Structure formats: C-alpha cells, structure tokens
Amino acid sequence: MTTRPAGNEFNLGVKFGNAAVAGITGVTINFPVDLCKTRLQNAETGPNGEKIYKSLLDCAKKTYKAEGFFGMYRGWAVNTLLITPEKCIKLGLNDLFCHHFGGKDGTLQWYGRLSAGGLAGACQIIVTTPMELLKIQLQDAGRSGN
C-alpha cells in the first residue's frame, strides 16, 4: 500500500512532460547500443560463411567508420517519436490510473497499482507497436545499403 501527499492536484500535462524528457534522454544515451544490437540480430553471413560483425564493439567500430557519428544515430528521430509517446502513455497513464484507483485518503492497494500498470502498458502497446517496426527497418537500412 502506498500513499500520495494530501492536497496535491493531479496534472497529467506535467506527468507527460516529465515522461517525454526522460524518454528522449534515455533514447539519446542508449541509441548507439540499440542500433548495433539490431544490426547484430539481423546480420547476414558473407559468401564464405564469415560474419559481418564479431561483436557489439566490432559493429560499433565498423558502423562509425563507414557512416560517421550520425550513422550511429540512424533511426534516432523515429525512435524518439516512438519513445516519447510510449513513456508519456506508460508513465503518465500509470500515474493517472494510480490516482484514480487510490482511496480518498491517498492509499493505493497492491491490486490497484497492478491494475494501473497493466492498463497503462496495454494502452502503450496499442499505440507504439507500428512505430517499433519502422524503427527496426530504419536501423537495419544502413547496414544493408538501402
């Protein structure tokens, strides 16, 4: 059971804004690793069975050498467009549902928190799945020369 401070008004716009900043920051920091992970997952073998990349670090080095700094961020804009609403929906709606499911005294039972998280996650999946597929296609485009 958790409680929220009494007298605080719930502001969904502020919750969405905070979630958006968190999402954009996280994407920017983590994106080169995510790009290399996707390229490793989708890597094809050469004509003699050799692998294009030996490791995550090898993929990063080859990508940087071939495409430069901005090549490490191929697909970043689409991913940011994915993550921003994802975080807004997931975190903002979770807080909204927690606020709604909480008692008048601000208490929230475990099943209310579980329901809030489940509902927020379901809303997030419906909105962001198509964008995730597009992000993967863009990340892989640089490797395959498309």
Domains contained in the chain, number:
1
The per-residue pLDDT for range 67-113, each reduced to its tens digit, is 999 999 998 998 888 788 888 889 999 999 999 898 878 789 999 99
Domain of residue 82, CATH code? 1.50.40.10
Closest CA to 142 of 37, 29, 39: 39
Residue-number span of the structural domain to which 65 is assigned: 2-144
- The predicted pLDDT at position 135 comes to 75
Q: So what's the pLDDT on residue 7?
A: 55
Of the pLDDT bands very low, low, confident and very high (cuts 50, 70, 90), residue 3 is: low
Q: Tell me if the pTM is above 0.85.
A: no
Give phi and psi for 48, each to the nearest 5.
-100, 15
